[in-house]
A and B are shown apart, each in its own frame.
Chain A
Amino acid sequence: MPNAAANFDQTILPHLDAAYNLARWLIGNERDAEDVTQEACLRAFKFFGGYRGGDARSWLLTIVRRTAWSWLQSNRRHEEAVEYDEELHGGQDVAPSPEVTLLRAGDVEAVRQAIGSLPAVFREVLVLRELEGCSYKEIADIAGVPVGTVMSRLTRARRHLQATLSNQPQSGGLS
């Protein structure tokens, strides 16, 4: 116990970039994302005694996500609770045709905006998968949803991005 802080520094803080990246994408601005990350890390330290090994990154990301969501709620940024059909194929929600190219895929700003335009429940899944390289199981643990939900959200999120980046009319209606 004498070196709890050093231990925490070594085990948890290597994942600070991942923590900040998730917070930043969920919160949307630098300053509040920093506050949320710092608060999450202090909470993590407080519960560090209860950390029983295992994947430190997922453990930290779970706390960051929870902290970020309660920040979003208390700042009244209620994103509409996105209710949707878990069936992947409903109505017009079809995959883009193979000929469609991602016209603006090389334009970082356009990609950033496209991710930013996703509702938070889709955005967090996409960020965890594509930017952090988390497995479905890890995402399910972090977001507290079943693996099936992770899959369907990821599918919807990608279709939304494909439609946005190829200047196609929106299909599926995420928001």
Chain B
Amino acid sequence: MNCQQIQKLIHAHHDGELDAANTMQVDEHLADCPSCFGALRQLSALRGALQNSELRFSAPAGLRRNISAAVEQAAKAERETTSARPWVQYSGWAAAAVLLAAFALTFPISSGRNEDRLVADLTASHVRSLMVNHLTDVTSTDQHTVKPWFDGKLDFAPPVKELREAGFPLLGGRMDFIDGHSAAALVYGRQKHFLNLFLWPASPPSPTEPRSSQRNGYNVIRWSDGKMVCSVVSDLNESELREFVRDWSAK
């Protein structure tokens, strides 16, 4: 091997990532070539400088506590969902299957269990967006700024509407992940309250009427206009949230 080939391999050699055959060849070369050996020593000197423990940042103690607390809270929300359907936990699979079959016959489209999980997921995303100062990825009150921001980030184009006149100013948008698929989250304000509107394509494309539910003090309304499944979550009271749904749908 000549020096140029060695120079290509010397980093991998230095990192212990070369296979035995190449390592042997490089070692042989290094024994006879002061120039390449010098290059290896340079790498060791650099590593020495980088090993300084002051260069590695440690997580602040407060961050560790915050994360543990936030995770605990998320787990609690999850547990409440599970305990709301104890039959899943305590009955055998056969019994569950019978129940599920009965459910499927009665409610062919969406079982209450899926609905529960979805509402829990939506609420958790809403809470998370407020908790970690990550309400918006794109902050703008202009729908012509927010809409193009989603281009290329989602495989669908979410409708972005301004509802300032109705008293729900648009604050921005965010990417989110709900129930196994990507969703656009639009953030609206109402005085000091925040509303997260989650959107993803409806499949099958059939419109559904708004349905309200509550979880952990948050109101959730879900509906579909046939193109998009829409879910709005807020700590706002239910009647104002219904007003939002009406205004959004009318626009």
A residues near B (Cβ < 8 Å) are 1-2, 4-5, 8-9, 13, 16-17, 19-21, 24-25, 30, 33-35, 37-39, 41-43, 45-46, 70, 74, 88-89, 95-102, 105-106, 108, 111-112, 115, 126, 129-131, 135-136, 151, 154-155, 158, 161-162, 165
Contacts and interface: CB of A to CB of B under 8 A. Distances in A.
Contact of B7 (A5, A70, A88, A99): A88
A98 B7 CA distance: 12
Contact of B42 (A1, A25, A96): A96
Given A2-B79, A38-B66, A42-B70, A70 B55 contact: no
B71 A5 contact: yes
Interface in B122-148: 124, 128, 131-134, 137-138
9 nearest interchain CB pairs?
Answer: A98-B38, A5-B75, A105-B49, A20-B59, A74-B137, A24-B57, A130-B50, A16-B59, A39-B132
Contacts of A20: 57-60, 63
Nearest to B127: A42
A89 B41 contact: no
A89 B8 CA distance: 8
**From DSSP, what is the main secondary structure of chain B's interface residues?**
helix
Nearest to B139: A74
Contacts, number: 143
Contacts of B70: 38, 41-42
A34 B42 contact: no
B43 interface: yes
A122 B8 CA distance: 17
B68 interface: yes
Given A20-B57, A151-B12, 11 more contacts: A4-B78, A20-B58, A30-B60, A37-B67, A38-B66, A46-B177, A98-B39, A112-B55, A131-B50, A136-B12, A165-B49
25 contacts: A4-B75, A8-B75, A16-B67, A17-B56, A17-B59, A19-B59, A25-B57, A39-B132, A39-B134, A42-B67, A42-B71, A42-B132, A45-B75, A46-B124, A70-B175, A88-B7, A88-B8, A89-B4, A96-B42, A98-B39, A100-B42, A115-B50, A131-B55, A136-B17, A155-B11
Contacts of A115: 50, 55
B42 A102 contact: yes
Interface of B: 4, 7-8, 11-12, 15, 17, 34-35, 37-39, 41-43, 45-52, 54-60, 63-64, 66-68, 70-72, 74-76, 78-79, 82, 124, 128, 131-134, 137-138, 175, 177
A82 to B, nearest CB: 18
B137 A151 contact: no
Contacts of B41: 98
B114 to A, nearest CB: 16
Nearest to A45: B71
Contacts of B59: 16-17, 19-20, 37
